[in-house]
């Protein structure tokens, strides 16, 4: 079955970190853009002749709502044909061809286990969508622990939002690891030591979601299953590319 393509119009952009921009898009032909938090859309961008050059997928960073808008959180990758086009050519009013939503990197129907979300960089996007949806829908849940890794303090995405959620949302906590900030008072280094220490004893009542660059995701998945002894069914992954 051929994919169905739609047109989205850029309504607003916002620089939220030195190399990261939020894109707010509207789908005029829809009254409501429905998706499940954790899913992604795929653009067909005019950056080459081959599909592998043109198609770029991005996780939805917003919470589903009663409208036809959605938000993406995109890093300016170097090199990266797709992100270069989005950062240099796309402006308010630009039209972008996309398909979706797609993907199975979603939460289970019942949140009857602790959820640990481990991410780097813009890998936080699907987790922001998930957490916001839980908060706004009032879904019953157990503990939700976000572990976010990036380089410096200026690269911390949605920091004030996360701090507000931690104060207002029962069961939600987050940790940040910075790899290039020697004066950072929190965790210094990478995300791995946080979950290795916090979840050192394997438990059946926890689910791990991993999202970000492949090196981090692969290492974390191996650590959880091979080093700590969690079942592979307790670890779900989503890889990000350029």
Domain annotation covers residue 109: no
106: exposed, middle or buried (C-beta count within 10 Å: 0-12, 13-18, 19+)?
A: middle
Identify the pLDDT of residue 78: 78
Question: 129 with 229, same domain?
Answer: yes
Of 102, 125, 154, which one is at a domain's C-terminal end? 102
Indicate the pLDDT class of residue 37, thresholds 50, 70 and 90. very high
Distance CA 144, CA 176 (A): 14
Question: 31 with 124, same domain?
Answer: no
Question: 89 with 143, same domain?
Answer: no
When pLDDT is averaged across residues 46-75 and rounded to a whole number, the result is 94
Q: Which of 152, 220, 221 is nearest to 192 (CA)?
A: 220
CA 16 to chain centre: 14
Q: What percent of the chain has pLDDT over 70?
A: 98
Question: 98 with 123, same domain?
Answer: no
Distance CA 34, CA 22 (A): 19
pLDDT in tens, 120-149: 999 999 999 999 999 999 999 999 999 999
151: exposed, middle or buried (C-beta count within 10 Å: 0-12, 13-18, 19+)?
A: middle
- Structure tokens that stand for 228 in this block: 């700590």
**For the domain that residue 51 is a member of, what is the CATH number?**
2.40.30.10
Question: 232 with 136, same domain?
Answer: yes
**End-to-end CA gap in the chain:** 27
Identify the pLDDT of residue 139: 95
Lowest mean pLDDT among 5-19, 78-92, 99-113: 78-92
CA 69 to chain centre: 17
- Indicate the helix (H) or strand (E) that contains 62: none
Distance CA 35, CA 103 (A): 10
Of 77, 102, 127, which one is at a domain's C-terminal end? 102
Question: 138 with 204, same domain?
Answer: yes
Question: 88 with 187, same domain?
Answer: no
Domain annotation covers residue 73: yes
pLDDT in tens, 154-166: 999 999 999 999 9
Domain count, the chain: 2
Residue-by-residue DSSP string for 65-84: -SSSEEEEEEE--SS-HHHH
- Structure tokens that stand for 214 in this block: 């492949």
Indicate the pLDDT class of residue 241, thresholds 50, 70 and 90. low
Domain with 211 in it: 114-240
């Amino acid at each position: 079955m051929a994919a169905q393509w739609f047109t989205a119009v850029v309504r607003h952009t916002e620089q939220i970190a030195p190399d990261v921009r939020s894109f707010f898009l509207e789908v005029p032909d829809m009254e409501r853009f429905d998706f499940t938090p954790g899913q992604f859309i795929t653009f067909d961008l005019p950056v080459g002749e081959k599909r592998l050059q043109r198609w770029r997928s991005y996780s939805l960073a917003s919470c589903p709502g009663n409208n036809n808008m959605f938000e993406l959180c995109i890093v300016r990758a170097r090199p990266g044909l797709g992100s270069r086009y989005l950062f240099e050519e796309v402006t308010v009013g630009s039209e972008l061809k996309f398909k979706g939503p797609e993907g199975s990197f979603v939460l289970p129907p019942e949140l009857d286990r602790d959820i640990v979300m481990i991410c780097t960089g813009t890998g936080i996007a699907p987790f922001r969508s998930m957490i916001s949806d839980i908060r706004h829908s009032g879904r019953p849940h157990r503990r939700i622990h976000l572990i976010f890794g990036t380089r410096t303090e200026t690269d911390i995405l949605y920091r004030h939002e996360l701090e507000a959620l931690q104060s207002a949302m029962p069961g939600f906590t987050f940790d940040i690891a910075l790899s290039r900030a020697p004066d950072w008072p929190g965790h210094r280094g990478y995300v791995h030591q946080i979950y290795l220490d916090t979840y050192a004893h394997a438990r059946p009542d926890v689910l791990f979601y991993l999202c970000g660059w492949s090196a981090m995701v692969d290492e974390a998945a191996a650590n959880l299953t091979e080093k700590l002894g969690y079942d592979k069914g307790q670890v779900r992954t989503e890889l990000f590319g350029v």
